């Protein structure tokens, strides 16, 4: 992912608010225009302006392999986008001849936008800028038949895959408790990350699942995908790799096509992505004559086997790729935090061996953080072995720079309370909440903060987590659409055939399934056949007939109705909408609202098919981030972002570093955790607060915890241990945690002044803060299930609910706009009447959910 807001002030040009480059449009200032003119006279393109020498070198070294090691906050995305702009403006290639890959859609979107700014609107997008997967689909659609698929293949999501695997495991007569579909899907994922097809699975690996049936099952799975005309995410990379290997002619086409290859976040590439890149990169220069092509090693030399050794570099470098490879990879080995999902830090560490003669450029001037923060980060990460080694150079220190604060709290509740207080104080001093982030190691930590912020009425947003398209109702609706658009989509069919309940249970479904399997036809067709027979029970038969007839009718409407209209008809006539309307549960109204939102978002696409493709690949929707709110997210999802003030709670052994990372990953696991800590620390621009608590509830059990070893790895001169607001300061400040961990360091914490003060503070806080401000407004960016029970019915905020992102966004600081008796709608509780009003808090009699107390910004008039 890209370093999001890194339109950083240029080095030596202190904190100027990020201004667009002079070229950015008519708004550019006179001075900027003058400078532009001057530079153009010198023949220097204005987009190069303000780049530091290293950045500039990275942009201008367009030929040959280049590795840009970009430390945190050094302008990575800027380099990447400027480089592309440079290639285009120097006429080195057309936009369509540049392959640029990212990991996330967000990063791709952002890059497109920024390139657009740099080169002006002249260039119509970049067709080959996208995620590995979206580019993979594009390639695979063109050559689907070579992978045994039709070009309209479906892309399965994790849900579909697991259901499919469950069937296969059961069909194999295995106990799906002992051998869970979930774990097998992860295993397959792992294999695919390494580029292994079923035949590449070693004996040992095959034995790891279901007593050696792993390989067989994997094979069966792939076969099943073929008959379903479907692929999983891994296939989007593996199929192209296989096609490139087996059809050199096709590979050559792509070689001729892509003159420049750029890769973002190279440290996150897995082996499959690496192979994919190597295949595309390893080629004669695009201007080469056919004669030269013969000298190039055959692409099929590239098999996954050389990957096996711990250091397969020698085999790789023997490829002797003599022709120029204009590949530029940008990354930071210190920010590799996705090893657990197959990323190979090794890819970046041996870049120069893979691409002999590579230019390696280090970006070490950090424009983001204060020297204290940078000092802490550098000292911490230095504890890792096996890094490239970079020294981040800080900007000049400023008078009011604060050291990194380390705080202690008695338990997680107090931690949340104190953080909340600190944020409120910052807010009073005029800080924007948007500039503040709380970065947690694990998502369960978020809850405590949410609870607290709800009582404080502090706006916050949660970033990450289950997304819109992963919600049950959205998936169900999508399944209907999929069956209509692609009648062969059995998984979609199975998902909704009995949703809403139609009395088509396991038995009937099994019959349809077996019939379809036996004849190798889609289940929808099988169902069609079966309703003509006597095989099904009369009840099931008529239910199934209705389903089949419905789908036939809807399919007939594809060309006559607009796809949004059709979607409405489908949801309506299938009884799906009615199912939720009749649902008495509290979240039903929210789900209906989500369905409306789904239809609304379909309007942005031309056809049903186009929409389905979008959803399969881009599992996020853009969300309004217009309100001022504290950001809460995991450390993982914070990569690439930056905030003025960052809170890092939960620095305790077992949580961070996470126990499981230590157990399963050993030393490298610990190092990855340390990199995660490094990522967290380097997100902060000005203020960084690290917290640890002495008691935390894990799996519902209170546990005494000890401070994270990472705390000891922070340099004394940049850290300030804040005792004052701690409930258990005594002694720890001085010893810098050195004696922590043995014995029971917290035994007498209850009696320390700090603890008593904390108790005092706690009750004060609840008294003073409660009701003293307008309702907190919450938005969940891409956050799921409209309920999750967060905040509901705890403490004095009974009924306060954090909802999906469809929550009304209005922040009313004035007295409530509602009056007793008003009819209102609430995202979670549905419709109801206002029973009484207390400031901005309403007591509402809900039709289905009973009486609840809610904050007015969460309801809207009906």
Active site residues: 76-77, 264-265, 335, 683
Dihedral sign, Cα of residue 230, residue 235, residue 236, residue 238 = negative
Beta partners for residue 824, in sequence order: 832, 861
Number of Cβ atoms within 10 Å of the Cβ of 856: 23
Shortest Å distance, C-beta 722 to DNA: 27
Among 278, 658, 675, 683, binds DNA (CB under 7 A): 658
Beta partners for residue 154, in sequence order: 230
Residue 174 is a binding residue for DNA (CB under 7 A): no
Shortest Å distance, C-beta 797 to DNA: 14
Residue 154 is a binding residue for DNA (CB under 7 A): no
**Is 77 labelled as part of a ligand binding site?**
yes
131 or 631: CB nearest DNA: 131
340 or 750: CB nearest DNA: 340
Among 259, 368, 502, 685, binds DNA (CB under 7 A): 502
190 or 306: CB nearest DNA: 190
**Is 269 labelled as part of a ligand binding site?**
no
345-404 binders of DNA (CB under 7 A) = none
Describe the crossing of helices 271-281 and 181-194 by its angle, rounded to 10 degrees: 30
Q: Measuring CA to CA, which residue among 635, 719, 718, 717 is closest to residue 675? A: 635
Among 11, 47, 103, 651, binds DNA (CB under 7 A): 103
Two tokens, residue 371: 């020297």
Two tokens, residue 243: 């096609």
48 or 617: CB nearest DNA: 617
Q: Which stretch binds DNA (CB under 7 A): 366-374, 505-513, 713-721, 804-812?
A: 505-513
Shortest Å distance, C-beta 699 to DNA: 4
Shortest Å distance, C-beta 680 to DNA: 12
Please check whether residue 782 is in contact with residue 805, taking contact to mean a CB–CB distance below 8 angstroms: yes
Q: Which stretch binds DNA (CB under 7 A): 3-11, 128-136, 258-266, 378-386?
A: 128-136
180 or 292: CB nearest DNA: 180
Q: Measuring CA to CA, which residue among 44, 26, 27 is closest to residue 35? A: 44
The single residue listed with the structure tokens 């700014």 is 117
**Is 212 labelled as part of a ligand binding site?**
no
Among 81, 97, 347, 508, binds DNA (CB under 7 A): 508
Q: What number of chain residues touch DNA (CB under 7 A)? A: 53
Among 78, 215, 636, 689, binds DNA (CB under 7 A): 636
Among 661, 670, 706, 765, binds DNA (CB under 7 A): 661
**Is 578 labelled as part of a ligand binding site?**
no
Distance of CA 359 to the CA centre of its chain: 31
**Is 375 labelled as part of a ligand binding site?**
no
Write down the H helix ranges in 469-522. Answer: 472-485, 490-496, 506-519
Residue 405 is a binding residue for DNA (CB under 7 A): no
Describe the crossing of helices 472-485 and 538-557 by its angle, rounded to 10 degrees: 70
507 or 820: CB nearest DNA: 507
The single residue listed with the structure tokens 């997210």 is 633
Please check whether residue 331 is in contact with residue 325, taking contact to mean a CB–CB distance below 8 angstroms: no
**Is 629 labelled as part of a ligand binding site?**
no
d(CA 62, CA 70): 17
Q: Measuring CA to CA, which residue among 812, 844, 840 is closest to residue 828? A: 844
Shortest Å distance, C-beta 174 to DNA: 13
Q: Measuring CA to CA, which residue among 476, 506, 520, 472 is closest to residue 787? A: 472
Please check whether residue 548 is in contact with residue 526, taking contact to mean a CB–CB distance below 8 angstroms: no
Please check whether residue 70 is in contact with residue 112, taking contact to mean a CB–CB distance below 8 angstroms: no
Among 311, 341, 600, 809, binds DNA (CB under 7 A): 341
Among 308, 501, 519, 553, binds DNA (CB under 7 A): 501
Q: Where are the beta strands (DSSP E) in 417-485?
A: 436-440, 460-463
**What is the helix (H) or strand (E) element at residue 703, kind and residue range?**
strand 701-704
3-class state of residue 335 by DSSP: helix
Among 506, 534, 559, 738, binds DNA (CB under 7 A): 506
Q: Which stretch binds DNA (CB under 7 A): 271-279, 526-534, 599-607, 656-664?
A: 656-664
Listed in sequence order, the residues at least 6 apart from 607 whose beta carbon sits closer than 8 Å to its beta carbon are: 563
Q: Which stretch binds DNA (CB under 7 A): 70-78, 129-137, 348-356, 522-530?
A: 129-137
Distance of CA 692 to the CA centre of its chain: 26
Please check whether residue 455 is in contact with residue 769, taking contact to mean a CB–CB distance below 8 angstroms: yes
Among 60, 172, 176, 822, binds DNA (CB under 7 A): 176
527-566 binders of DNA (CB under 7 A) = 540
Q: Measuring CA to CA, which residue among 769, 779, 857 is closest to residue 816? A: 857
Shortest Å distance, C-beta 685 to DNA: 22
Shortest Å distance, C-beta 623 to DNA: 13
Beta partners for residue 437, in sequence order: 631, 646
Shortest Å distance, C-beta 155 to DNA: 8
Among 60, 529, 597, 620, binds DNA (CB under 7 A): 620
Shortest Å distance, C-beta 791 to DNA: 10
- Contact flags string 662-691 toward DNA, x per CB under 7 A: --xx---x---x------------------
Two tokens, residue 329: 């990879």
- Contact flags string 564-603 toward DNA, x per CB under 7 A: ----------------------------------------
Two tokens, residue 612: 């389905």
610 or 789: CB nearest DNA: 789
Q: Measuring CA to CA, which residue among 574, 421, 425, 568 is closest to residue 493? A: 574
Residue 619 is a binding residue for DNA (CB under 7 A): yes
Residue 633 is a binding residue for DNA (CB under 7 A): yes
701 or 747: CB nearest DNA: 701
Residue 94 is a binding residue for DNA (CB under 7 A): no
DSSP 553-572: HHHHHTTTS-HHHHHHHHHH
Distance of CA 429 to the CA centre of its chain: 33
180-209 binders of DNA (CB under 7 A) = none
Among 2, 52, 105, 777, binds DNA (CB under 7 A): 105
731-790 binders of DNA (CB under 7 A) = 785, 788-789
Residue 442 is a binding residue for DNA (CB under 7 A): yes
Shortest Å distance, C-beta 389 to DNA: 24
210: left (phi over 0), alpha (psi -120 to 50) or beta: left
Distance of CA 637 to the CA centre of its chain: 6
Shortest Å distance, C-beta 34 to DNA: 41
630-634/684-698 β-pairing: unpaired
Can the peptide bond before residue 168 be classed as cis, meaning omega within 30 degrees of 0?
Answer: no
Shortest Å distance, C-beta 572 to DNA: 20
Listed in sequence order, the residues at least 6 apart from 224 whose beta carbon sits closer than 8 Å to its beta carbon are: 164, 168
Q: Which stretch binds DNA (CB under 7 A): 208-216, 488-496, 548-556, 630-638?
A: 630-638
Q: Which residues of 42-79 are buried (b: 16+ CB within 10 A; e: fewer)?
A: eeebbbbbbbbebbbbbbebbeebbbbbbbbbbbbbbb
Point out the annotated binding site for ATP.
70-77
- Residues that bind DNA in the complex, under the rule CB under 7 A: 103-106, 131, 133-134, 157-158, 176-177, 233, 340-341, 441-444, 464-465, 467, 498, 501-509, 540, 617-620, 633-634, 636-637, 658, 660-661, 664-665, 669, 673, 697, 699-700, 785, 788-789
């Amino acid at each position: 992912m890209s370093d999001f807001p890194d339109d950083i002030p240029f080095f030596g040009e202190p904190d100027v608010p990020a201004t667009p480059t002079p070229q950015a449009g008519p708004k550019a200032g006179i001075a900027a225009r003058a400078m532009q003119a001057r530079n153009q006279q010198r023949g220097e393109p204005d987009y190069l302006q303000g780049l530091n020498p290293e950045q500039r070198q990275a942009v201008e070294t367009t030929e040959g392999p280049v590795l840009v090691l970009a430390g945190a906050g050094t302008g990575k995305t800027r380099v990447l986008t400027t480089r592309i702009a440079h290639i285009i403006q120097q006429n080195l290639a057309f936009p369509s001849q540049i392959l640029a890959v990212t990991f996330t859609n967000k990063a791709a979107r952002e890059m497109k936008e920024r390139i657009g700014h740099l080169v002006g609107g002249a260039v119509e997008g970049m067709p080959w800028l996208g995620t590995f997967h979206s580019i993979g689909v594009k390639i695979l659609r063109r050559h689907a038949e070579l992978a045994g698929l039709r070009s309209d293949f479906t892309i399965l999501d994790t849900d579909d895959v697991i259901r499919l695997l469950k069937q296969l495991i059961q069909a194999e007569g295995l106990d799906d408790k002992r051998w869970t579909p979930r774990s097998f899907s992860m295993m397959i994922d792992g294999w695919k990350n390494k580029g292994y097809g079923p035949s590449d699975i070693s004996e040992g690996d095959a034995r790891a699942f279901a007593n050696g049936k792993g390989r067989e099952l994997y094979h069966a799975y792939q076969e099943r995908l073929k008959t379903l005309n479907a692929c999983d995410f891994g296939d989007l990379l593996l199929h192209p790799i296989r096609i490139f290997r087996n059809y050199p002619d096709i590979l050559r086409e792509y070689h001729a096509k892509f003159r420049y290859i750029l890769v973002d976040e190279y440290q996150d590439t897995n082996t499959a992505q690496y192979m994919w890149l190597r295949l595309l990169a390893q080629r004669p220069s695009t201007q080469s004559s056919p004669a030269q092509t013969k000298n190039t090693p055959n692409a099929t030399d590239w098999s996954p086997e050389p990957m096996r050794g711990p250091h397969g570099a020698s085999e790789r470098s023997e490829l002797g790729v003599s022709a120029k490879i204009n590949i530029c990879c940008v990354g930071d080995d210190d920010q590799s935090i996705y090893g657990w999902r197959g990323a190979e830090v090794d890819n970046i560490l041996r870049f120069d061996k893979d691409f002999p003669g590579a230019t390696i450029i280090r970006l070490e001037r950090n424009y983001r953080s204060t020297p204290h923060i940078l000092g802490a980060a550098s000292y911490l990460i230095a504890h890792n072995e096996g890094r490239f080694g970079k020294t981040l150079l800080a900007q000049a220190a400023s008078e009011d720079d604060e050291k990194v604060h380390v705080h202690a709290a008695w338990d997680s509740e107090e931690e949340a309370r104190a953080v909340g207080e600190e944020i409120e104080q910052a807010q009073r001093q005029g800080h924007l909440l948007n500039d503040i982030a709380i970065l947690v190691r694990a998502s369960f930590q978020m809850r405590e903060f949410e609870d607290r912020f709800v009582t404080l009425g502090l706006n916050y947003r949660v970033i990450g987590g289950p997304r819109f398209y992963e919600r049950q109702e959205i998936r169900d609706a999508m399944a209907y659409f999929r069956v209509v658009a692609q009648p062969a989509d059995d998984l979609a069919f199975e998902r909704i055939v009995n949703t809403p309940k139609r009395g088509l249970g396991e038995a009937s479904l099994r019959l349809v399934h077996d019939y379809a399997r036996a004849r190798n036809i889609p289940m929808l067709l099988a169902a069609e056949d079966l309703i003509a027979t006597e095989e099904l029970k009369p009840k099931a038969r008529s239910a199934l007939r209705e389903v089949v007839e419905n789908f036939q009718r809807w399919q007939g409407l594809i060309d006559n109705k607009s796809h949004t209209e059709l979607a409405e008809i489908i949801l309506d006539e299938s009884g799906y909408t009615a199912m939720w309307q009749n649902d008495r549960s509290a979240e039903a109204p929210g789900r209906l609202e989500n369905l409306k939102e789904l239809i609304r978002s379909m309007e942005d696409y031309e056809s049903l098919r186009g929409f389905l493709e979008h959803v399969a690949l881009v599992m996020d929707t853009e969300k309004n981030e217009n309100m001022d709110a504290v950001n809460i997210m995991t450390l993982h999802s914070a990569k690439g972002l930056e905030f003025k003030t960052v809170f890092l709670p939960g620095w305790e052994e077992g949580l961070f570093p996470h126990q499981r990372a230590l157990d399963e990953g050993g030393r490298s696991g610990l190092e990855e955790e340390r990199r995660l800590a490094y990522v967290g620390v380097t997100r902060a621009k000005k203020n960084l607060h690290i917290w640890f608590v002495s008691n935390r509830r894990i799996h519902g059990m209170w546990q005494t915890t000890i401070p994270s070893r990472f705390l000891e790895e922070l340099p004394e001169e940049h850290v300030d241990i804040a005792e004052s607001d701690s409930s258990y300061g005594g002694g720890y400040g001085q010893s810098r945690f050195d004696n922590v961990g043995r014995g029971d360091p917290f035994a007498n914490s209850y009696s320390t002044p700090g603890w008593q003060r904390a108790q005092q503070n706690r009750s004060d806080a609840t008294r003073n803060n409660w009701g003293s401000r307008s309702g907190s407004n919450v938005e969940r960016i891409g956050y799921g299930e409209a309920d999750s029970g967060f905040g509901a019915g705890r403490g004095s905020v009974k009924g306060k609910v954090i909802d999906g992102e469809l929550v009304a966004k209005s922040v009313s600081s004035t007295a409530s706009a509602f009056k007793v008796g008003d009819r209102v709608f609430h995202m979670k509780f549905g419709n109801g009447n206002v029973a009484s009003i207390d400031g901005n808090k309403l007591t509402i009699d809900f039709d289905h959910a009973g009486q609840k107390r809610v904050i007015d910004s969460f309801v809207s008039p009906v």
